[in-house]
Amino acid sequence: MDREAREHYTVLIQAKDMAGQVGGLSGSTTINVTLTDVNDNPPKFPQKNYQLYVPESAQVGKPVGKIKANDDDLGVNADIKYSIINSEGANMFSISTDRDTKEGIISLKKPLNYERKKTYTLHIEGMNTHVDPRFSYLGAFKDTATLKITVGDVDEAPVFSMDYYILDVYENSPSGTEVGCITARDPDSRSSPVR
């Protein structure tokens, strides 16, 4: 019997006396059978490859996307723990499980910089948290998917070459006297001129 195929059964039972011969009496009852769930289905991502766009201005610690594996089981048997299993992804992003929706919520661990790195590849694993050893012969109760994150460029303000400047000017200097040089650059990839 497979609960995922059919969960409820109704069985009619009849009992007859006198071995079912004519003149005998009979009684009947209905039994409703409900199958309880066991963890016999692993989580499965609907796709093997996903894409996500995240602007470089995304805030650290805030969710930037989500991913979901499906599990045909119910209750604790369908609980999934998500993890990022490659170092490139795990260094920049974290993933947690939303208890209500059972989705993997992807958050930013460090600031993104489009000018330094434009894409990240995350290998995400979804694994059942309560594995029933009776079904270990079915294989690992986990699945993996690849998430390619494209970092979006955001126009950034110019950056000065120093945090502060000290410039001295002699008293009574004529108008137009050069007193020093202050420089700034555009951190964006297109390096627009700064005025």
Indicate the burial class of 102 (C-beta count within 10 angstroms; 0-12, 13-18, 19 or more): middle
Indicate the burial class of 31 (C-beta count within 10 angstroms; 0-12, 13-18, 19 or more): exposed
Q: Residue 47 and residue 25: Cα distance in Å, rounded?
A: 60
Q: What is the pLDDT of residues 168-181, one digit of tens each?
A: 888 888 888 888 88
Q: Residue 150 and residue 94: Cα distance in Å, rounded?
A: 16
- pLDDT at position 157, please? 77
Q: Specify the DSSP class assigned to residue 66.
A: E
- pTM for the model stands at 0.72
The per-residue DSSP string of 85-125 comes to -SHHHHHHEEEEE-TTT-PEEEEESS---TTT-SEEEEEEE
pLDDT (mean) for 96-102:
93
